[in-house]
Amino acid sequence: MSTTKLAQPFLKWAGGKRQLLPEITKYIPREINTYYEPFIGAGAVLLHLQPPKAVINDINSELINAYTVIRDQIEELLADLSKHVNDKEYFYNIRELDRKEQYQLLTPVERASRMIYLNKTCFNGLFRVNSRGQFNVPFGKYKNPAIVNEEVLRAVHEYLAYADVTLLNGDFAKAVESARAGDFVYFDPPYDPVSETASFTSYSLDGFRTEQQIRLKELLDELDHRGCRVMLSNSATDFIKDLYKQYNIKIVGAKRNINSKASGRGKIDEVLVMNYGEE
C-alpha cells in the first residue's frame, strides 16, 4: 500500500520519536511480516513506516480509544473537536470531567476529543494523570494551538482504516503473544530515569519501575528465541546498557522538549538495542 507523509503523530507525547526517526529507520529490517509496537504512544515510528500489517498496543485506555475513534469515527471526531475553545476557564471545565460521574457517560468520540483538546492546550503537551487516574496538567496559555488538525487526523484515519492494524489495550507481553519468526517488534517503553527526579511514568496508573524493565528484557530474550527481530529504545543509563549488554547497542542523541522543568529538557543520550546486526 502507498504511504502519505501527512500521517504523523496527532498528539505530543513524552518520549516521542519524531526527531529520532532518521536513526531508527536506518536499522529497521527491510522485510517484515507483521509489525508490533506494544508501547505505541504517539505512534511516530508506526506512522512513518505505515506497515501493511501491524499490531499496536498501549496500557493507556484513553490513548487507544483515540486511535480507535480516529479509525472508525473520523467525521464525528472532527465535528466534536471543532466545539472546543482555547480558553482557560473552558479548559479547566473540560479537564475536571474525569472527576465527575458524568465522565462515564461520555461517548468514545467525546473522550477522544477531550484527550486531543487537552493535549493541544495544556502546559507543554504533557499527558499526565494523578494517583486517581485524573488528568492534572495545567492550562498552557498558547495563543493559537492547532486543536483541529484535520489534515493529519484524516491521514492517520486513512492508514488505520485501510491497513490491517490491530489495536490492543493491555500488558506489553500480551501484545506480542502472536509474534513469530519474520515479524518485527519495536519496544519504546517508559524510559529508565537518568536521575532520581527525572522519571516520567505517570501517563498511566501502573508506572514502569525497575522490575518492569527487567521483565521487558526477559520478553525480548523470548522473542529472540522465537526468531523475531526486535528493536528497543531506552535511556543510555548504566543499568540499561548492562541489562542489554548481550545485544547490539547503538548510542543516539535525542533532544527532549517535554518536561515540566526547563532544566529537564535538552539533549540526552539514548540507546537503540537490537537482536540483529546492521543490514
Q: What is the pLDDT of residue 260?
A: 47
Q: pLDDT grade, residue 1 (50/70/90)?
A: low
Q: Is 80 left (phi over 0), alpha (psi -120 to 50) or beta?
A: alpha
In a domain, residue 213? The reply is: yes
Residue 156 forms part of a structural domain: no
Portion of the chain with pLDDT greater than 70, in percent: 90
- Do 33 and 116 belong together in one domain? no
What is the arithmetic mean of pLDDT over 140-169?
96
User: What is the residue type of 3?
Assistant: T
At position 27, the amino acid (one-letter code) is Y
b or e along 219-256 (b: 16 or more beta carbons within 10 Å of the residue's beta carbon)?
A: bbeebbeeebbbbbbbbbbeebbebbeebebbebebeb
Least confident stretch, 8-17, 41-50, 185-194, 256-265: 256-265
- Within this chain, do residues 129 and 262 fall inside the same structural domain, yes or no? no
Residues 43 and 174 grouped into a single domain: yes
Q: Is 50 inside any structural domain?
A: yes
Q: Are residues 174 and 54 in the same domain?
A: yes
Question: In the listed set 150, 175, 204, which residue is the last one of a domain according to the structure?
Answer: 150
pLDDT for res 125: 84
What average pLDDT does this structure show over 12-19? 81
Selection from 48, 265, 237, 162 nearest residue 37 by Cα: 48
Residues 141 and 178 in one domain: no
Range of the domain at 46: 18-60+164-274
Sign of torsion, CA 100 102 108 111? negative
Residue 161 has pLDDT above 80, yes or no: yes
CATH classification of the domain holding 243: 3.40.50.150
Does residue 264 have a pLDDT over 60? no
Tell me the mean pLDDT in the region 243-270.
74
Last residue of a domain, one of 123, 150, 177: 150
Q: In this structure, what CATH number is given to the domain that contains residue 131?
A: 1.10.1020.10
Dihedral in degrees, nearest 10, Cα atoms 153, 159, 184, 248: -40
pLDDT at 72 over 90: yes
Record the pTM: 0.91
Measured distance CA(53)–CA(156) in Å, rounded: 15
pLDDT at 204: 52
Tell me, yes or no, whether 251 and 168 share the same domain: yes
Domain count, the chain: 2
Residues 260, 138 share a domain = no
Which phi and psi (to 5°) does residue 36 adopt?
-120, 135
CA distance 4 to 209: 37
The number of beta carbons lying within 10 Å of the beta carbon of residue 82 is: 12
- Answer with the residue of higher pLDDT: 127 or 183: 183
Same domain as 172, residue 52: yes
Kindly state whether residue 194 falls inside one of the protein's structural domains. yes
In a domain, 3, yes or no: no
Is the same domain home to 56 and 75? no
| Mean per-residue pLDDT, 25-43 | 96
Residue 279 within any structural domain of the chain? no
Neighbour count for residue 272 (Cβ, 10 Å)? 20
Query: What average pLDDT score do residues 54-81 get?
Result: 97
Q: Is residue 9 part of a domain?
A: no
39 and 131 together in one domain: no
- 98, 121, 150 — which closes off a domain? 150
Residues 101 and 51 in one domain: no
What is the spatial distance between Cα 141 and Cα 97, in angstroms, rounded to a whole number?
Answer: 20
Residue 238 included in any domain: yes
- Asked if 240 contacts 189 with a C-beta cutoff of 8 angstroms, the reply is no
178 and 48 belong to one structural domain: yes
